[in-house]
Amino acid sequence: MRILGIDPGYAIVGWGAVEYQGSRFTCLNYGAVTTPAGMDFPQRLDLIYTGVENLLETYKPEALAIEQLFFTNNKTTGIAVAEARGVILLCAARHNLPIYEYTPMQVKQAVVGYGKATKQQVMEMTRRLLGLQSIPKPDDAADGLAMAICHAHTGASALTRMGIKNLR
């Protein structure tokens, strides 16, 4: 399964493209879509849309894994990130790409095995799982890769693919 993991933002959108087969990961690539601070916000959103669309066309993922938003103390920043995230979701929807959302705690649990792991622990385990020489930079790209790993470990399970999401 080919997965595009996304760490949403309006200044930096971190991303990681990962192939997962059996229990083996292959890192296809990673990076960031960036927007200039002085640019008008609608143009920044357009850059994000175009950047994500280019990623979808280049890597042809079968799933998009994206971080769920959590409430922040800075409402202005939270709203801007939510708008950028909405543009990313729209782009994926227009490409008929299944979208999976994960909380930071779910990502930590799936990547490290501990839901309260530190950011450094997540980045190091991401590096190890993907067989990379060093921790991916920028941090946002490492977060995108961790998001893809999370989906591979949780959302891409056989039960989820069969439509069984809640076993109660």
Closest CA to 157 of 7, 4, 3: 3
- 67 catalytic residue (yes or no): yes
Q: What is the mean pLDDT of residues 56-76?
A: 87
pLDDT number for residue 78:
84
User: Residue 155 corresponds to which tokens in the numbers above?
Assistant: 């959302």
Q: What are phi and psi of 70, to 5 degrees?
A: -125, 155
- 140 catalytic residue (yes or no): yes
- Give the whole-angstrom CA distance, residue 82 versus residue 62: 23
Catalytic residue among 19, 67, 139, 143: 67
The CATH H-level (homologous superfamily) assignment of domain 2-161 is: Ribonuclease H-like superfamily/Ribonuclease H (3.30.420.10)
Q: What is the mean pLDDT of residues 92-110?
A: 96
pLDDT number for residue 72:
62
- Give the whole-angstrom CA distance, residue 91 versus residue 52: 7
Catalytic residue among 62, 83, 101, 140: 140
pLDDT number for residue 168:
33
Q: Which residues of 35-74 are buried (b: 16+ CB within 10 A; e: fewer)?
A: beeeeeeeebbebbbebbeebbeebebebbbbbeeeeeee
- 139 catalytic residue (yes or no): no
Question: Best-predicted range by mean pLDDT among 22-26, 69-73, 77-81?
Answer: 22-26
Provide the pLDDT confidence category of residue 70 given band limits of 50, 70 and 90.
confident
Q: Is pLDDT of 157 > 70?
A: no
- Give the whole-angstrom CA distance, residue 17 versus residue 56: 10
When the pLDDT of each residue in the chain is averaged and rounded to a whole number, the result is 91
Q: Is pLDDT of 9 > 90?
A: yes
Q: Tens digits of per-residue pLDDT, 109-154?
A: 999 999 999 999 999 999 999 999 999 999 999 999 999 999 999 9
| pTM of the entire predicted model | 0.90
Provide the pLDDT confidence category of residue 76 given band limits of 50, 70 and 90.
confident
- Give the whole-angstrom CA distance, residue 2 versus residue 152: 9
Q: What is the mean pLDDT of residues 61-65?
A: 98
Distance of CA 50 to CAs 44, 47, 66, 91, Å? 10, 5, 17, 9
